[in-house]
Amino acid sequence: MIVVMKRTATPDAIQQMARTVEEMGLKAHVIVGTERTVIAAVGDKRNGAKELLESYDDVEQVVPILAPYKVASRETKPEPTAIKTRGLVIGGGHIGVIAGPCSVESEEQILLAAEQVKAAGATGLRGGAFKPRTSPYAFQGMKEEGLKLLALAREKTGLAIVTEVMAPQHVELVAKYTDVLQIGARNMQNYHLLQAVGETRLPVLLKRGPSATIEEFLLAAEYILDQGNQQVTLCERGIRTFETHTRFTLPLATVAYLQEKTHLPVVVDPSHGTGIASLVPSMCLAAVACGSDGLIVEVHPDPKKAMSDGAQSLTPVAFADIMARCRLVAAAVGKTIG
């Protein structure tokens, strides 16, 4: 249920109502919007709960949330959520751009990549330190050493760091270095991991599992939101279909659909979505055109020498070119980018 508070309700009255909701055995999520504050009351509700809550003076009305994802739903919060960390802004009319190599490989590589993507206009730096690889024999990432290099790149450039955390026991360590915790596609339904990042107050970039339905995707986001972390960004990174020309199939209708169903910002990853560097620029333009709140793009100083995902990584020159073209499309859809 959504408990819609009257505009006149004081912060104290809102907290008191949240306590009342919890005393009824429900979980209370206070969601402060520009228009109104609501309390999402989630859990098994008993008979008469709606009428009881509506009897309080500070309550405007109580309405059921029909979607299975309660806190993520647009019914709960009609206005879009924007995520802000350092210079990276995702949503609310701004397209956040996160770029960088698939993996952190060396100090020289990540510092150069950071300078190059910053010069082209990115405000977030990606780079995996813990790498989920299909083969156990493939490069697994530089781990803490890689995290330290990302933090060094942030110190030198001011870019916000986005890096993956693969296990609940690593959340504390990764959170020490990063600005945004990335949950990889393979871990979208690792519920303990989702809860662990939900317990932090860092923004989370949640990638769609390659075989997950949109409802499963939103319910995964709900695991993070349910822990009280409201800073979740959804990332469409391609799904597995019968098609083999591209690494995955990148369904951009997801962006438009999600924006009808949820207030959370949605970004697109055209690198993993296609697996082919030459297709990435077109998909960046299309993502911006169809309403994406951000892009996450693999860019490597020398893609041919990349230790992972070189085939889908843009050169810094190609990235700068696509940023310039995306700026034109962003302006056409009334948004800013960078």
Residues in contact with ligand PEP by the rule CB under 6 A? 102, 128, 132, 164, 184-186, 207, 237, 269, 272
CB of 285 to ligand PEP, least distance (A): 20
CB of 273 to ligand PEP, least distance (A): 8
Q: What share of the chain is helix, strand, coil (3-state, %, to 5)?
A: 40, 20, 40
Q: Which of 18, 21, 53, 102 binds Mn ion (CB under 5 A)?
A: 102
Instruction: Note whether 113 and 125 are within 8 A (CB).
Output: yes
Residue 281 binds which of ligand PEP, Mn ion, none (CB < 5-8 A, kind-dependent): none
Q: Residues 144-165, buried b or exposed e (16+ Cβ, 10 A)?
A: eebbbbbbebbeebebbbbbbb
Q: Which is nearer to ligand PEP, 73 or 163 (CB)?
A: 163
Site string for Mn ion, 32-51 (x = CB under 5 A): --------------------
Instruction: Note whether 307 and 105 are within 8 A (CB).
Output: yes
How far apart are the C-alpha atoms of 18 and 283, rounded to whole Å?
44
Distance of CA 23 to the CA centre of its chain: 32
Residue 337 binds which of ligand PEP, Mn ion, none (CB < 5-8 A, kind-dependent): none
Q: Which is nearer to Mn ion, 109 or 229 (CB)?
A: 109
Q: Which is nearer to ligand PEP, 9 or 205 (CB)?
A: 205
Q: Is 260 left (phi over 0), alpha (psi -120 to 50) or beta?
A: alpha
CA-nearest of 2, 5, 32 to 16 is 5
CB of 103 to ligand PEP, least distance (A): 8
Q: Is 255 exposed, middle or buried (0-12, 13-18, 19+ CB in 10 A)?
A: buried
- Which window, 111-119, 237-245, 260-268, 303-311, contacts Mn ion (CB under 5 A)? 303-311
Q: Which is nearer to ligand PEP, 28 or 266 (CB)?
A: 266
Residue 237 binds which of Mn ion, ligand PEP, none (CB < 5-8 A, kind-dependent): ligand PEP
Q: Which is nearer to ligand PEP, 43 or 132 (CB)?
A: 132
Q: Which of 194, 273, 309, 323 binds Mn ion (CB under 5 A)?
A: 309
